[in-house]
Structure 1
Amino acid sequence: MIVYRLSKGRYRNDLSGKGAELAGGRWNSKGVAMLYTSESIALCTVEIAVHTPLGIVPNDYYLVSLEVPDELPILELPLKDLPRDWKLFPHPNSTQEIGDSFVFDAKFLTLKVPSATVQGNHNFLLNPRHHDFRKVEIVDAVPFAFDQRLFVK
């Protein structure tokens, strides 16, 4: 399976999940490393856009394509199993607890979750602590230019 992430140039080869560990996110608490990826380039773009102030066009980004071995099972969280507040902004603790448990249980390398930004799309969260994480490979990393219209005030 190929998944995608948009990353600042200097971090394009960093798959440690350190950025999410430092900042926390919808699916992880601060202090818990996790690598956020998306099923499509378009979803990656939207995920960056919703976290960038209007009027600022992100620069020095790379589109990183990752290969996750198909033979490894994926834990999927269907909508019906999510807490009612899962899509709220700012994100709730309930989703962080789910993601933190996924990381610490380390039964699966990948957690498939619905996107809070684009209905019907999915993000794939990778657990850097999982014993098969070393099998995840960067297959491409190319400069990425955002369309300025996404960031117009």
Structure 2
Amino acid sequence: MIVYRLSKGLYKNDLSGRGAELAGGRWNSKGTALLYTCESRALCTTEIAVHTPLGIVPVDYWLITLEVPDTLPLSEVPVPQLSSDWKSFPHPNATQLIGDAFVQEGRFVGLKVPSAVVHGDHNYLFNPRHQEFGEIKLLESEPFPFDARLFIK
């Protein structure tokens, strides 16, 4: 499977999940490292767009392409198992607890979760401390210019 992430240039080769560990996110609490990825370039773009103020075009972003071997153990969180507010903003603590438990249990290297931004699409979260995480290969890092029309007021 191929997954993608958009990252600032300084962190383009960092797959440690440290950013999510420091800041927390929809699917993890502060202190829990997770590597967030998307199933498509378009979903990556949308995920950045919803977190960027209108009128500001993001610069110095790189598209990271990762190859995840089909043999790696993945789990999935189906939408019907989530609380009704799972995609609200700000995100609920309940989704963070799901990601935290995923990391703590350590059974799977990856977790497929629904995108809160694009209905029907998915993000893949990876536990960088899982024993099989090293099998995920960074295939390519390339500069990613955003189309300014996405950010016009």
Which bin holds the TM-score, normalised by the shorter protein? over 0.9
Matching residue's letter, 2:97: E
TM superposition score normalised by structure 2: 0.98
Q: What's the offset of the Cα at 1:72?
A: 1.2
Q: What's the offset of the Cα at 1:47?
A: 0.3
Match of 1:62 in 2: 62
Query: In the alignment, does 2:57 pair up with 1:71?
Result: no
Query: In the alignment, does 2:85 pair up with 1:85?
Result: yes
Match of 1:37 in 2: 37
- Following the alignment from structure 2 to structure 1, what is the Cα–Cα distance between the partners of residues 152 and 34? 31
SS of 1:118's equivalent in the other structure is coil
SS of 1:134's equivalent in the other structure is helix
Matching residue's letter, 1:36: Y
- Following the alignment from structure 1 to structure 2, what is the Cα–Cα distance between the partners of residues 65 and 4? 5
Aligned residues: 153
Question: Which structure 1 residue ranges, 4+ long, deviate > 6 Å from structure 2?
Answer: none
Matching residue's letter, 1:2: I
Query: In the alignment, does 2:48 pair up with 1:48?
Result: yes
- Following the alignment from structure 1 to structure 2, what is the Cα–Cα distance between the partners of residues 105 and 53? 36
Q: What's the offset of the Cα at 1:143?
A: 0.3
The C-alpha deviation readout for 1:17-41, integer Å capped at 9, x for no partner, is 0010111000000111100000000
Matching residue's letter, 1:131: Q
Matching residue's letter, 1:149: R
Matching residue's letter, 2:115: S
Query: In the alignment, does 2:102 pair up with 1:134?
Result: no
Match of 2:143 in 1: 143
Matching residue's letter, 1:84: S
Match of 1:20 in 2: 20
Q: What's the offset of the Cα at 1:45?
A: 0.2
Name the % identity. 67
Query: In the alignment, does 2:13 pair up with 1:5?
Result: no
- Following the alignment from structure 1 to structure 2, what is the Cα–Cα distance between the partners of residues 108 and 131? 10
Match of 1:103 in 2: 103
SS of 2:96's equivalent in the other structure is helix
Q: What's the offset of the Cα at 1:73?
A: 2.3
Gaps of 5+ in 2: none
